[in-house]
Amino acid sequence: MAAADAKPGQDLPFDAHHLDRLMDEAGLDVLVVTSKHNVQYLLGGYKFFFFESMDAIGTSRYLPVLIYRKGRPDQAADVGCFMESFEKELGRFWMSSLSLGATGSAPAMREAAAHIKALGSGIRRVGVESSFLPADAERVLRAELANVDIADAMLPLERLRARKSPEEIADLREASERVVASMMEALKAATPGTTKHEVVETLRRAEVNRGLVFDYCLITAGTSLNRAPSEQRLQAGDIMSIDSGGNYKGYIGDLCRMGILGEPDAELQDLLGFIEHVQQETRKPVKAGARGGEIIDLGERLVAQSPHAAYTHYMAHGMGLVSHEAPRLGTYKSLSYEGDDASRPLEAGMVISIETTMAHPKRGFVKLEDTVLVTDSGYEALGDSGRGWNRAGG
């Protein structure tokens, strides 16, 4: 990531000048960052190992708080748990101001507010992550900074992360390739009589063995459209969709591939062929400078013009530390976000998930989900193998 001076001789793990511009656009003087993914990003990949799986402790929760003042990275601070003193000894933090003793959401925010007040005058608007700010912590912040306007900072933080660094792209490539390889391993082990739960457990182990953190698996079998792991047993001739998220160094590999216990007939070949056609066609407009929403428009048009329109859905969204992060190319009410980036140009380094989903009323669930990197001249597909009918059972 691009660097700026935190203090003499020290580089930052993110583009501070870009962040300052985004804060200017949003009218923010200070950021109070409390989501794990944005704290991780601004700390250059750091995650406190003790709370990596869960946040609850005692009667409250672990709440990391990173404070950043526009144009003054030397005044940044981090509030964390007392056990993070071990991490401090290992040089995990780039800022010199650390408060590592406030375990609990309200105490952590008191420390953060005290730091902001100590910065002096000139702070009129503080940006917070409303969706990742506990109610008790917000009450503390508003009480302690009663003369300051509190605003949501989701958009500038999302747009800061939208353009990936070479290191982030390498992590996303690894995540995608390892997820697909794990899917192929799980499919080879699936035979008639195997339950969906057993397929998912095989996939989980395969992902963990490849250095991934297993996040989830949506799985269908036969003609059923139910995507939850269950005790449903596979039968000869069943088709399977495996849609899994595996996490590598915080970055998500999220892809979907198809399998079959037997040989696909002509209709199944045609159905997956249509899905593949939509996936490939909607990659073609992808390049730096193209309007982001063009991908959505094309995909929806291809689906609408097909005989499968009634039971097929197209979607494209950003990928990175968060699934469905910027660029947000479409409005999806079920996911509670607007297509803020539909009219904006794509930038080299953005990463997009493209997915076409068919819930066929007779043949079952047929889907492909791919990950593509935006480049100056077009795109690069990440983890692009296993796209056809993969024969299960070895």
Does 350 lie in the same domain as 255?
A: yes
d(CA 78, CA 48): 12
- What's the structural domain count of the chain? 2
Cβ atoms 212, 175 nearer than 8 A: yes
Does 110 lie in the same domain as 29?
A: yes
d(CA 278, CA 372): 14
Does 245 lie in the same domain as 157?
A: no
pLDDT confidence band for 102 (50 / 70 / 90): confident
For 133-190, how does the pLDDT look when each residue is reduced to its tens digit (9 = 90+)? 999 999 999 999 999 999 999 999 999 999 999 999 999 999 999 999 999 999 999 9
**Domain holding 338: CATH number?**
3.90.230.10
| Alpha carbon separation from 99 to 29, 85, 137, 176, 348 (Å, rounded) | 21, 9, 16, 37, 37
Cβ atoms 317, 330 nearer than 8 A: yes
Residues 226-235 have a mean pLDDT of: 98
pLDDT score, position 8: 39
DSSP of 186-244 = HHHH--TT-BHHHHHHHHHHHHHHTTPEEEEEEEEETT----S--SPBP-TT-EEEEEE
Q: Which of 233, 230, 257 has its CA nearest to residue 243? A: 257
Last residue of a domain, one of 98, 130, 161: 161
Does 197 lie in the same domain as 133?
A: no
Does 230 lie in the same domain as 177?
A: yes
pLDDT score, position 222: 98
Last residue of a domain, one of 95, 128, 161: 161
Does 182 lie in the same domain as 331?
A: yes
Last residue of a domain, one of 161, 190, 224: 161
Does 339 lie in the same domain as 280?
A: yes
**Domain holding 48: CATH number?**
3.40.350.10
d(CA 368, CA 358): 9
Query: What is the C-alpha R_g of the chain?
Result: 23
Burial of 230 (0-12, 13-18, 19+ CB in 10 A): middle
Does 199 lie in the same domain as 93?
A: no
pLDDT confidence band for 394 (50 / 70 / 90): low
pLDDT confidence band for 4 (50 / 70 / 90): very low
Residues in the chain: 394
d(CA 311, CA 313): 7
Query: Percentage of residues in the chain with pLDDT exceeding 90?
Result: 93
d(CA 215, CA 213): 6
Does 218 lie in the same domain as 121?
A: no
Does 216 lie in the same domain as 101?
A: no
Q: What burial letters (b/e) apply to 4-30, b meaning 16+ CB within 10 Å?
A: bebeeeeebbbbbebbbebbeebebbb
How many angstroms from the chain centroid is the CA of residue 354? Answer: 14
Give me the domain span that covers residue 11. Answer: 5-161
d(CA 305, CA 100): 58
Does 87 lie in the same domain as 157?
A: yes
pLDDT confidence band for 2 (50 / 70 / 90): very low
CA dihedral 126, 127, 132, 135 (to 10 degrees): 30
Does 112 lie in the same domain as 244?
A: no
Burial of 217 (0-12, 13-18, 19+ CB in 10 A): buried
d(CA 323, CA 321): 7
For 36-64, how does the pLDDT look when each residue is reduced to its tens digit (9 = 90+)? 999 999 999 999 999 988 999 999 999 99
